[in-house]
Amino acid sequence: MEIIDAQIHLWGSGLPSNDAHWQITSFNAAEAVAKMDEAGVDGAVIYPPTWDPNSVDLARRAVADYPGRFAYVDQLRVEAGNIDEAIQRVDDEPGLIGLRILLRGENKQRLVAGELDGVWAKLAAANVPMSLLLDGTFAEIGAVAGRFPALKLTIDHLGGRGGFETARDAAAMTHIPALLALAVHPNTAVKATGLPHYAGEAHPYPIMQGYLAEVVGAFGPDRVFWGTDISKMPCTWRECIAMFTDLDGLEGDDLERVMGRALKDWWGWPEA
């Protein structure tokens, strides 16, 4: 079974600005590959973090230095007004498979006000897959998915706030019914990343496994992508894998799709 991690961060300078991540000044591709090899992870999607201004270059080098092991998704900064340039980069740059928007703060306000429709239209026309970190606004994203059916939208971290979330277990998952409602849109998918971060219990995190089973049941194994966001996990890469492989009812071809094949099909994966 090929295993592809839907999200990791690499950086080479500075402490992470989000305290949920390892408070170290560097986590590079060689270190990631060593840990991936130890755990049996075949590949990973890099999300360059904002706390290192050179993190995009690190992602590019990782793609070049380890063919077939990495792809990356860059952040789309709507306020910069460079939408066309960002879309062109997805076409031109090896390993750049899509873009991400953090729908928090001003971007959340833009979404609610309908000010991002021009952005969605351009992304849909260019067939650029998008990753979304949400802070609520599930209904608004559902409306976007309906208006732009050609736009592939992947919801980060099982719909939660990722490293910005301080609640645990059920208190961190109150949004799950709203997330499940998005499953009616065939152009929406879910990154099942960061789940141990939401857990107040020990591995294998049965409460989180319960929510995971609900999401897989609603979206299906072709629209749920295993991953870790490893630098904020309270456990090892191998334990993050076991949380999924030990889940009752997730096995065979469905398990293989969730653990990597579905992500490669949805996002596209660079050839080695």
Question: What does the pLDDT look like over 34-63, one tens digit per residue?
Answer: 999 999 999 999 999 999 999 999 999 999
CATH number at residue 259: 3.20.20.140
165 pLDDT tier (thresholds 50, 70, 90):
confident
pLDDT of 162 reads 84
Give the model confidence (pLDDT) of 206-217 as tens digits. 999 999 999 999
The answer on pLDDT for 271 being more than 80 is no
Q: What is the pLDDT of residue 164?
A: 82
Domain of 192, in residue numbers: 4-267
**pLDDT for res 270:** 86
Any domain includes 272: no
CB atoms inside a 10 Å sphere around CB 168: 15
Q: Please, which pLDDT band fits residue 4 given cuts at 50, 70 and 90?
A: very high
| Tally of domains in the chain | 1
Rounded average pLDDT over 60-75:
97
